Structure 1
Amino acid sequence: MRVVVQRCKEARVTVAGETAGAIGEGLMLLVGVTHEDTEKDAKYLADKVAGLRIFEDEAGKMNHSVTETGGAILSVSQFTLYGDCRKGRRPNFMAAAAPEEAKRLYDYFNRELAGHGLGVETGIFGAMMDVSLTNWGPVTLIVDSRA
């Protein structure tokens, strides 16, 4: 399982012009699931993301997590995180999990995040979505349960 974590001042996802999820300060997550992932991977990443110390303290050092700052999460599923671009010019998505399994683990991941006391907003799994954010810093990290 792979998550792109972006610290943001605000983020929004819309589907067909309607807002599906929106947050103020917090973390915008792009979440990819591969066919080898399990609930153990999802829980590991939820715990990792909830505890990442990437918000500044009074001294300007990254010392606080989204859980500590009271921020929120916008979690968006993105199978293209498992796109393989090594051959040709069209990505191969063979490493991405089948939609049913990916949705099950994505939903589990979001429930685990909420279990940390975080407000979790989402897009609509499998829909064509427009995502916008104001990346704060910018701070962007890639966290992978297999790395």
Structure 2
Amino acid sequence: MRALLQRVSRASVSVAGKTIGQTGPGLMVLVCAMLDDDEKKADQLAAKVSKLRIFKDDARKMNRSVKDIDGSALVISQFTLAADTSRGNRPGFSQAAAPDFGKHLYEVFAQRLEAYGVPVETGEFGADMAVELVNDGPVTIWVEN
């Protein structure tokens, strides 16, 4: 699975003008299931995200996790993280998991992240979403397993 983490002061996601999920301070997590992914990979990614030390401690060093700061996460499906831009000018997405299985793994990831102690809100899989965020730092981290 692939994820793009953004440390945020706040973030929200809306569908058809209605806010359906929000967080802050914490993480906005864009997540994509790939062809060879399974529930084990979703769990491993959730464990990694819950423990990743990208928040400042009292000495202003990135030494605290989202759990350590009592933060939360906004998890949004983002199949375009599977983009292959190696040929031509139009990205290919053939390495992304099929939609039904991608949705399942997205949901498993969100559930496991919450089970690891991070409050989670989500977007709507497959919907046309409007995402707003204030990136804190900015800090943006690519995670893949």
In the other structure, the counterpart of 1:142 is: 142
Identity %: 51
Give 5+ residue unaligned stretches, structure 2.
none
Q: Shift of the alpha carbon at 1:132? A: 1.1
* Distance (Å, rounded) in 1 between the aligned partners of 2:87 and 2:116: 41
* Distance (Å, rounded) in 2 between the aligned partners of 1:58 and 1:65: 13
Indicate if the aligned counterparts of 2:50 and 2:117 stay in contact, CA closer than 8 A.
no
* Distance (Å, rounded) in 2 between the aligned partners of 1:128 and 1:6: 20
In the other structure, the counterpart of 1:20 is: 20
When the two structures are aligned, how many residues end up with a matched partner? Answer: 145
Counting only pairs closer than 5 Å after superposition, residues 101-116 of structure 1 correspond to structure 2 as 101-116=101-116
Counterpart residue type for residue 82 of structure 1: A
The SS at the match of 2:67 is helix
What is the TM-score when the length of structure 2 is the normalising length?
0.98
1:75-106, CA deviations, whole angstroms, 9 ceiling, x for partnerless residues?
00000000111111111110011010001111
* Distance (Å, rounded) in 2 between the aligned partners of 1:5 and 1:109: 14
* Distance (Å, rounded) in 2 between the aligned partners of 1:122 and 1:34: 19
Compute the RMSD of aligned alpha carbons. 0.7
* Distance (Å, rounded) in 1 between the aligned partners of 2:92 and 2:13: 25
Q: Shift of the alpha carbon at 1:67? A: 0.7
What is the TM-score when the length of structure 1 is the normalising length?
0.97
Counterpart residue type for residue 133 of structure 2: L
Q: Shift of the alpha carbon at 1:109? A: 0.5
2:63 matches 1:48: no
* Distance (Å, rounded) in 2 between the aligned partners of 1:85 and 1:91: 5
Moved >3 Å (runs of 4+): none
